[in-house]
Amino acid sequence: MAFQLDQKPFDDLHSLITNVPGGDEEARLAAQARQAEIAVPSGELGRLSDLAIWLATWQGGSAPTAARPQIVVFASSHGVAKHGVSTYGWQETQTKIQTLTSGKGSVNQIAGTIGCGLRIIELAPEMPTPDIRTNAALSEPDCAATFAFGMEAVTETPDILGLGVVGAGATSAAAAVSLALYGGSAAFWAKSGSAVKEPDLLTAKAQAIDEALLHHRGKLDDPLSILRRLGGRDLAAVAGAIIAARYQKIPVVLDGFVAAAGAAILHSIAPNSIDHCIAGSVTYRDSHHALLDRISKKPVLDLGLGLGDGSGAALCMASLKAAAACHNGIGIGIE
């Protein structure tokens, strides 16, 4: 999707986000009517019925499809990781990228079992963003450009798009964004990544988040300012991909805390801008549950996954394939 920046890029982004097209009401009604006539007692398909109607609404057709699902994983790194807030740094991020690109990651295995495409998009992980404790993660032009890059990443016209993130310090940045958007405590939002299992890391992470919010105090009134100051390339790219998918009639499956934080930026600007998104799964961490509550997303799966690398989205794709198959293939009449 082509996107042209002008001299006030955030004005363009606000316009894109607040003017997203709505769902296809005719398709939604047709899908509801189809669900009412299929040979299964009313309500017995549970959430599969809701998912089929959701797919039809945002794809724009009464026959939902899940034949070309794709996962996109954005890989980046954050300067705040150098303060002992994560179990790995940017060097380990490179190792994770190599694992994914060589087909050895968990998301590779899950995506492969259901015929789901997978793209790993590197956002200069060897160049961590500035430390949000003392600097903005991105300039306004760089933030808008990365948002636009995320939009351009949606190029292969899948019928469903899954989004995940890997990278050192990503959950710290997402936790800082969540604190700025919703308040609460740094200690709570810090429980969003691998640091939750190590008290020393968790303490350092909460302190770094507090220091970041203090440094940027008074400059966080606009969600896009929160994104550029506390977020980073990965969150900006996720937000861009979500908006591009909306304009291209592609439903989106969010995976993990970081992708949800990217969606939360959009939700804070225009709550309806993420109506075409669902949460594929939820981690076992309280902060992720809380963030999904804030953006009104009930996860499709709750398997205790803590990865955020697209694995949960890939698993969800299997449910979406089943929902579409049942919707389109079950006969008419009560059994």
pLDDT at residue 61, as a whole number: 83
Higher-pLDDT residue of 247 and 2 is: 247
Please check whether residue 311 is in contact with residue 305, taking contact to mean a CB–CB distance below 8 angstroms.
Answer: yes
Give percent above pLDDT 70 in the chain: 95
Residue with tokens 């404790």: 133
CB atoms near residue 236 (< 10 Å):
30
Residue 335 clears pLDDT 50, i.e. is over it: no
pTM higher than 0.85: yes
Q: Could you tell me which of 66, 72, 44, 19 has the C-alpha nearest to residue 270? A: 19
Q: Give tens-digit pLDDT for 96-114.
A: 999 999 999 999 999 999 9
Q: Give tens-digit pLDDT for 166-225.
A: 999 999 999 999 999 999 999 999 988 776 677 888 899 999 999 999 999 999 999 999
**Average pLDDT, stretch 307-332?**
95
pLDDT at residue 1, as a whole number: 55
The string over 91-117, giving b where at least 16 C-beta atoms fall within 10 Å of a residue's C-beta and e elsewhere, is ebbbebbebbbeeebbbbebbeebebe
pLDDT at residue 196, as a whole number: 66
Alpha helices (runs of H) in 114-255, residue ranges in sequence order:
140-152, 170-182, 186-189, 199-215, 223-230, 233-247
Which DSSP category does 137 fall into?
S
Please check whether residue 33 is in contact with residue 121, taking contact to mean a CB–CB distance below 8 angstroms.
Answer: no
Structure tokens at 24: 């296809």
Residue 6 clears pLDDT 70, i.e. is over it: no
- The ranges assigned to domains in the chain are 67-322
What does the alpha-carbon distance between residue 97 and residue 120 come to, in Å, rounded to a whole number? 8
CATH class of segment(s) 67-322: alpha beta
Residue 132 clears pLDDT 60, i.e. is over it: yes
pLDDT category, 4, cuts 50, 70, 90? Answer: low
pLDDT category, 42, cuts 50, 70, 90? Answer: confident
